[in-house]
Structure 1
Amino acid sequence: MPMVDAAGKPVVRRLGVKCPKLCRGAGWNPRHGTWYFQYDHADAAGARVVVSFGSLATRVEAEDQLAAVQRLLGIADELGDDPRAVAELRVQIAARVRADHKAGLGLPEFEAMRRAVLTGAPVTEHLTVGQWLTERLAGKTALSVSTRRMYASQVRTYLIPHLGRIPLDRLRVAHVTAMFDAIAQEAAAAEANNVARREADAARKAAWASGDRAAWRQAKDRLAALPAFRLPCHAATRFRLRSALRSALSAACAQQLVTINVAALAEIGSGRSPKGLVWTPERVAYWQATGNKPSPVMVWTAEQTCQFLDRAARHEWYALYLLVACTGLRRGEACGLRWIDVDLDARMISPTKQRVQNGWEVLETDLKSDASERDVGLADQVAEALRAQRDWQQDARERARSAWVETGLVFTTADGEGLHPAKVTAQFKQLAREAGLPPVRLHDLRHGAASLALAAGVDLKVVSDMLGHSGTAITRDIYTSVYDELKHAAAAAIAAAINGARATAAPPKPSRRTATTLDTAG
């Protein structure tokens, strides 16, 4: 009969080895009860260390766990001969062992614990991946504003949500692989949702144009029910994300916080940036019918670029857009161009500064890299446009009088202030729509400049220098879209070589079998 208390409730108490069901004959009953161990030690300094684990299936497992705990606590003896320091460290290791066991992490790894003790790292708590990434980013003071903003976005948006709570010394390849698998799935879902939104929006506009109010309401409701538009994390972005994580873990390896850079071992694909495609009539028709761009990077043809510039010629920022289209300058470089970096007589510019965004704030910084500081030649048309820009600015200075702000910039507002890069992009999109052109990014004018230069036969090294790249591989693999005329020229060159070889070679003699066949046919 079970024991009960005064309220009549059963009293539960641990019977331990006295439980009658634990024994079966002369041995232990393997089907009843679990094993536990307890380590209880009081040293000469009076510090008591108690560690006990339960719910172990076998006696062997309990003995193995006890031996592992004793080995971990023995790390304290490597500290030195000070009994108090050794006793304090042993207490800390025991606290860490109990905390990890309670959190379901198992026992701390021996080498990781030993490394923490020898390097003076905190023993009683884990340094998580999120804490390390945050500390690492704060310590990189030499980063440019744009690079820091990109790293901070990667840490905040992807790395911390997926990996932030994992102890740094417990991070494994499987964790990194699982993160990238999840990000890829999220990207695919975002792509599908964006396509559905474009289709619903196209149906809504078509219904409104046709006067079908019922279809318009139906398409409008369908659009409202879909999730908001999201920019998917493409393969190239995931590759850069892995590079950022690998760099942070390399620094952790250098400080002996981890022994293996698991990010370097994770397989996530090549991560190549999408190739630029030219807006051919077929691709324009596809975009008009579906609202979807064939590629994230699209490039105008020479005729389409002229169409845009004809529309932009009536805008005060025409010289800026012409400069970007003809030289491949980055947006920040064009907005940050100063008159002291322009030599109109020599038709040359040498950009040294850029205007970049930090949120909505605009900062003037040095260029992206050493290779970005280059001399760029100007066509006569571009030089004339810059002369007109200089004249316009002088007139604006006279009209503004004391309100004029002297910044020394080539492209300014009517009172001399520098242009906001986001507004330059927004105006570019507006002018492109007014010109009836398929959409491209302002940065894609840079792609177009490189591709048009190659199509005109300009050497790849010259194009690479013009764009400010550190090597021609970047220019060839990322920033060039090969126009059909280049492909036709290559095909014609191969055919010409074959025809030339055929003309110089002696005609083959017909074989006897061929001659007999011809005679029979005759």
Structure 2
Amino acid sequence: MAPKKRNPNGAGSIWQRKDGRYEARVYVPQPDDTRKRKTVYGATWEECDTKRQELVLRDRQGIPTPTRSAKLSEWLPYWLEEFVRNDRKKTTYAKYETHVRRYLIPHIGSKRLETLGAADVRRLLTTVTAQASTATAKESHRVLRSALTAACREELVSRNVVMLVPAPRVQPRELKPWDLEQTVAFLEAARNDPLYAAFVLAAALGLRRGETLGLRWSDIDFERRTLTVRNQLQRVQKELYADSTKNRRTRVIPVPLMCVAPLRWQRLRQAAQRLAAGGAWHGSDYVFTTRTGRPNEPRNLSRSFERIAEEAKLPRIRLHDVRHGCATLLFAAGVPARVVMEILGHSQIAVTMNIYTHVSDENRREAMGHMDRLLKRRK
């Protein structure tokens, strides 16, 4: 018979059951910040004590150990708060929270982590596709996979069943950015708009909307004609805030001459607005502000873009598609792919090559003209 051993307070206790096995009970933290008693068993005292020590160690490290398999409706909100909120961008948290609230919890929230199966995931994807779209179902798949990966690391489940179910295939949206003539026509139509300089930067440098509005005067060096992209302005969940760039990297872009005059005009215009506002002016270093010096709303920039494009009778595209058009024009001018990637601020060159370049009919016709010259029969 194994000797009786006393454990310190909070370390649990071990005793032998009538069936000959050993049993230990330890109070452990739960995902909801409560404490409950967890029971483990072993064929020998040593085996049971090893399991007990593992529970005590997890307790001291602050790792939750559910006394029963948590429901997804319990685990997903906990995962959002503990794993996503402080480690990811606010935009990412907001997107994940939306999928958890609108799709995951309503459809599979009653399932427990250990009982969730591949069939449940497939039914979820089918339901979300019917309710929203294939792209939304694919994003829900990504969110659930990430949540269960964290559960695996916490040793709450032994495997991630989402990995067994392929994500839905999304048909890529056909990109039809403006060609050179249409881009020039838009800039001509926008010349008298207060946000004209912002549209010039979007067309010539391919800045994202948030990067354009997050630009500060201290980021612009007129003497060296360079512009440093280090911030972006975002509105998420009713909060307008400054954030790092999408890939958290700073990039320096040479400024073409066509951007210098609009930026100088913007600085003069802002100085006049500051003088007119007087004490009502909200001091900031942002390049693009309202009449009282407040940062511009991202949605307002898009609204102005859409209004000007409609008045100019141009094909309807998104403001972000101007960024696509910038990449296409750079490639048409013979700029190397690596340089285009650095200008646009992509983390991988595959993104530049696969998404942000659009081959125009003129480019295709010119390419086939080369084949005409190379392969035609010589007399």
TM-score by length of 1: 0.59
Q: Deviations over 1:312-370 (max 9, x none)?
A: 11111110011111111111110010011111222211111111001332111222223
* Alignment size in residue pairs: 334
> Structure 1 residues 234 and 427 mapped into 2: Cα distance closer, same or farther (>3 Å)?
farther
Which residue of the other structure, out of 267, 274, 281, is the alignment partner of 2:166? 267
Task: Find the counterpart in structure 2 of residue 485 from structure 1.
Answer: 362
* Structure 2 residue corresponding to 1:121, chosen from 65, 72, 76: 65
1:181 corresponds to which residue? 126
Q: Is the 8 A contact 2:25 2:38 kept in 1?
A: no
Question: Within 1, Cα distance between the matches of 2:214 and 2:25?
Answer: 63
CA contact (8 A) 1:455 1:483 kept: no
* Residue 450 (1) aligns with residue 349 (2): no
Does residue 162 of the first structure (1) align with residue 162 of the second (2)?
A: no
Cα distance in 2 for residues equivalent to 1:300 and 1:377 = 23
Aligned residue among 415, 421, 426 for 2:298:
421
The DSSP-based 3-state class of the residue aligned with 2:243 is: strand
The residue aligned with 1:468 is: 345
Counterpart in the other structure of 2:199 = 321
- Is contact 1:351-1:374 (8 Å) kept? yes
Q: Write the mapping of 1:57-206 to structure 2, written as runs, cut at 5 A.
A: 77=21, 79-80=23-24, 121-123=65-67, 125-139=68-82, 140=84, 141-187=86-132
Residue 75 to residue 174, structure 1, CA distance change in 2 (3 Å): farther
User: Secondary structure of 1:355's partner?
Assistant: strand
3-state secondary structure, aligned to 2:315: coil
1:388 equivalenced with 2:287 (yes/no) = no
Structure-2 change in CA distance of 1:75 and 1:248 (3 Å): farther
1:368 is aligned to 2:246: yes
Deviations 1:112-158 (A, max 9, x none): xx99x9677333x5411122111111013121111111111121122
Structure 1 residues 401 and 393: alpha-carbon distance in aligned structure 2, compared to 1, 3 A threshold:
same
CA distance in 1: counterparts of 2:20 and 2:183, whole angstroms? 72
TM-fit CA distance, 1:496: 4.0
| CA distance, structure 2, for counterparts of residue 175 and residue 342 of structure 1 | 53
Q: Give the structure 2 partner of residue 352 of structure 1.
A: 230
Higher relative contact order (CA 8 A, sep 6+): 2
Which residue identity lines up with residue 102 of structure 2 in the other structure? T
For the Cα contact (< 8 Å) 1:342–1:348, is it kept in 2? yes
Q: Quick one: which amino acid aligns to residue 358 of structure 1? A: V
Whichever of the two has the greater Rg, that structure is 1
Matches of 1:380 and 1:81, distance apart in 2: 74
CA deviation map 1:379-423 (0-9, x unaligned): 211111111111111222222233222200111112221111111
| Distance across 1 between alignment mates of 2:100 and 2:72 | 10
Partners of 2:18 and 2:322 in 1: how far apart?
65
Amino acid at match of 1:158: Y
Rounded Cα–Cα distance in structure 2 between residues aligned with 1:74 and 1:346: 84
Matched, 1:341 2:227: no
Q: Which residue of 1 aligns with 2:150?
A: 251
Report the counterpart of residue 209 of structure 2 in structure 1: 331
DSSP 3-state at the match of 2:75? helix
- Provide the rounded CA distance (Å) in 2 between the counterparts of 1:185 and 1:165: 21
For 1:173 and 1:76, how far apart are their aligned partners in 2? 38
When residues 395 and 266 of structure 1 are mapped into structure 2, their CA distance, relative to the original with a 3 A threshold, is: same
**5+ long unaligned stretches in structure 1:** 1-72, 83-87, 94-113, 188-232, 279-298, 508-522
Q: Please give the per-residue CA displacement for 1:468-506, whole angstroms capped at 9, x wherever unaligned.
A: 10111011222222212222233234444445xx76xxx
Amino acid at match of 2:70: L
- How many angstroms apart in 2 are the aligned matches of 1:345 and 1:126? 63
CA distance in 1, matches of 2:171, 2:228: 30
Q: SS where residue 319 of structure 2 aligns? A: coil
Q: CA deviation at 1:77?
A: 4.3
> Which amino acid counterpart does residue 256 of structure 2 have in structure 1?
A
Higher relative helix content? 1
Partner SS for 2:232: strand
Please, which of 242, 255, 261 is the counterpart of residue 378 of structure 1? 255
User: Does the 8 Å CA contact 2:137/2:168 hold for their aligned counterparts?
Assistant: no
Are residues 74 and 430 of structure 1, via their aligned partners in 2, closer, same or farther at CA, if it must alter by over 3 Å? farther
- Aligned equivalents of 1:364, 1:469: Cα separation in 2: 20
Matched to 1:254, the amino acid is R
Q: Which moves more between the two structures, 390-399 or 379-388?
A: 390-399
* Pair 391,137 (structure 1): closer, same or farther in 2 beyond 3 Å: same
Measured against aligned partners, the alpha-carbon deviations of 1:285-320 in whole angstroms (never above 9, x if no partner) come to xxxxxxxxxxxxxx2222222222222111111100
Q: AA paired with 1:345?
A: E
Instruction: Give me the CA root mean square deviation.
Output: 2.9
Q: Residue 338 of structure 1 contacts residue 351 of structure 1 at CA under 8 Å; is this kept in 2?
A: no
Q: Is the 8 A contact 1:275 1:478 kept in 2?
A: no
Structure 1 residue identity aligned to 2:184: C
> Which of 151, 162, 187 in structure 2 is aligned with 1:309?
187
Separation in structure 1 between the aligned mates of residue 141 and residue 178 of structure 2, nearest angstrom:
32
